[in-house]
Chains A and B, each alone.
Chain A
Amino acid sequence: MLDVKSISKTFHPGTANEKKALSGLSLHLEAGDFVTIIGSNGAGKSTLLNAVAGVFYVDAGSIVLGGRDITFQPEHRRSRGIGRLFQDPLRGTAPSMTIEENLALAYLRSAKGNPFSRLSKKDRAFFRERLALLGMGLEDRMGQPVGLLSGGQRQALTLLMATLVPPQLLLLDEHTAALDPAAADKVLELTQRIVADGHITCLMVTHNMSQALTVGSRTLMMADGGIVLDLSGPERAAMTVDDLLRKFREGTGRELDNDRMLLSD
């Protein structure tokens, strides 16, 4: 499904601020894989997701999604097949527009969208039905501006928008880190349900060690712009958080150090 072949990215090359954020990283995902990613601050997790999403072009290597080489595709073209959530719940929605208008925009990703069509009754019914799945009562507030929603509600809405037209790949960058624990649980539960229902291939960066092992089917550990550990199957099932930290130490000679890290729930 996703084939990342030895990609590299250096920020500010040739200056005092030069920073090699990805160095020859390769990664292969099968369709339906749900992969969690952990790693220290600055390991390159966000940079990997940005590279796949097309926020910048990589310096070397190639990225193939669903059989199509997207290495040189601009971000807005890639987003047709890639849904994305950030840590900041404000980044995924337009605050002064209403819930249904935000959903209508997300719906643009479907190929059949005529740019001059307006929201139809059918669209509204569809949005209402999907909003009801969130269990937050948002289906009765479709005409309200999104700016009035709480962080958790906004993130749940963003999740719905990213998956309204099922993406080939869903990229989640610590999308529950800025939410209060109850909201974070809710959004994570929704994520798991939507990903499972839609058989969506998903890459999720998390700062929660136990979540990294229990959610999804495969865990990657990143350090210094590369993948240092790739766990799946029985090996992953038998792994505890302590094992994971030890593995990291053995692999890199350093402690796993992340300022948002949670060792347990």
Chain B
Amino acid sequence: MLLITQTALELGFLYALVAMALFLSYRILDIADLTTDGCFVLGAAVSVTLAGAGYPILAIPAAMGAGACAGFVTAFLQTRLGVPSILAGIVTNTGLYTVNLMAMGWRSNASLLRVDTIFTLLRDTGVGGGYSDLLLAAVVTLAAGGLLVLFLGTRLGLSIRATGDNRDMVRASSVNPTFTVTVGLCISNALTALAGAMVGQYQKTVDINSGTGIVVIGLACLIIGETVLGRRTVVKGVVAAVLGSILYRFLYAVVFYTKVVPVDCLKLLTAAIVGLAIAAPSIRRWAAFQKRKLAAGRKGGT
């Protein structure tokens, strides 16, 4: 039981980086960035390959750099070449499939056997004892979250936030929205790749399809967190990403061990939750309208 809790927490912290990335792209920039799936695998592929070659620590920033490049391509497609933003993400994502195979040495999966990962390195120092994996996952995620909050308070961060709010105003403050979108997507994809890089070394394996649906799961986490915390400020948003991700992993664990629903159905369930949550305002409006119609009908009838 303790082990299950611990694993859920570890995975929760690691995948929270994806939810944080989506907080930046989806909530702040108002862009549904479908690069996420491929970018997660890219981070994992770079990380596992470099760890396999003996550079587990270097692997992390390298993976983030690769993710930032993927974000740059998506941003370039939509800001300079006029590709609609959703399509831009899909195009990059498709291209990444090949890039990811390449990063894994043209194989569809790669594993780490008897080599150091950042997790084993920390375990060997004895810091954190039996909780060293959790410690590392939590520290990395909380540090990334803290830096993200700090960054969004800088002038550049403020102009990125204004981009999703009012692009006219960004231009009026002498900043090019093309630039802010680009920086925003580079950072969010670096975060996604960081998640992939950490998960890759944590699980000591990467598969070309391991990113499928990550974007929806990340959104689910964010929405769960926001439902608990509300979504007013940047700090709340980042905390919501972490909290939501942990809750999601607990939910996942519960489903996995109690088998209330078959685990294979979890993606469908997640998709349904995300679809409903995003549709909630429309559904609420529709319900209110039906109620009014009903009330008007009753009045007319009597």
Residues of A within 8 A of B (CB): 74-77, 79-80, 83-84, 90-97, 101-102, 104-109, 113-119, 145, 161-162
Contact = CB atoms under 8 A, between A and B. Distances in A.
B176 A79 contact: no
- Would you list the 7 A-B pairs with minimal beta carbon distance, nearest first? A94-B165, A115-B156, A94-B162, A80-B174, A76-B171, A76-B176, A94-B166
Task: Give chain B's interface residue range (CB within 8 Å of chain A).
Answer: 20 to 34
A108 B165 contact: no
A84 B172 contact: yes
B173 A95 contact: no
A79 B232 CA distance: 30
B172 A92 contact: yes
A93 B154 contact: no
Interface in B144-199: 150, 153-156, 158-159, 161-162, 165-166, 168-177
B155 A117 contact: yes
A22 to B, nearest CB: 21
B165 A77 contact: no
Given A75-B171, A96-B165, A114 B176 contact: no
B162 A105 contact: yes
Given A108-B174, A109-B173, A116 B156 contact: yes
Nearest to B167: A94
Contacts of A101: 158, 161
B296 to A, nearest CB: 32
A115 B174 contact: no
A107 B169 CA distance: 12
A108 B173 contact: yes
Contacts of A109: 173-174
A121 to B, nearest CB: 14
A79 B171 contact: yes
A79 B158 contact: no
Contacts of B168: 91-92
* Most chain A CB inside 10 Å of its own CB: which residue of B153, B154, B169: B169
A118 B153 contact: yes
A105 B154 contact: no
Contacts of A116: 154-156
A262 to B, nearest CB: 27
Contacts of A95: 165-166
A163 B1 CA distance: 62
Given A92-B169, A105-B169, A118 B174 contact: no
A131 B150 CA distance: 26
Contact of B166 (A75, A91, A108, A119): A91
Contacts of B153: 118-119
Nearest to A100: B158
A105 B161 CA distance: 10
B170 to A, nearest CB: 8
Given A76-B174, A79-B173, A104 B165 contact: no
23 contacts: A74-B176, A79-B171, A83-B172, A91-B166, A92-B169, A92-B172, A94-B165, A94-B166, A95-B165, A96-B165, A101-B158, A101-B161, A104-B155, A105-B155, A105-B173, A108-B159, A108-B174, A108-B175, A109-B173, A113-B155, A117-B154, A118-B154, A119-B153
A58 B157 CA distance: 33
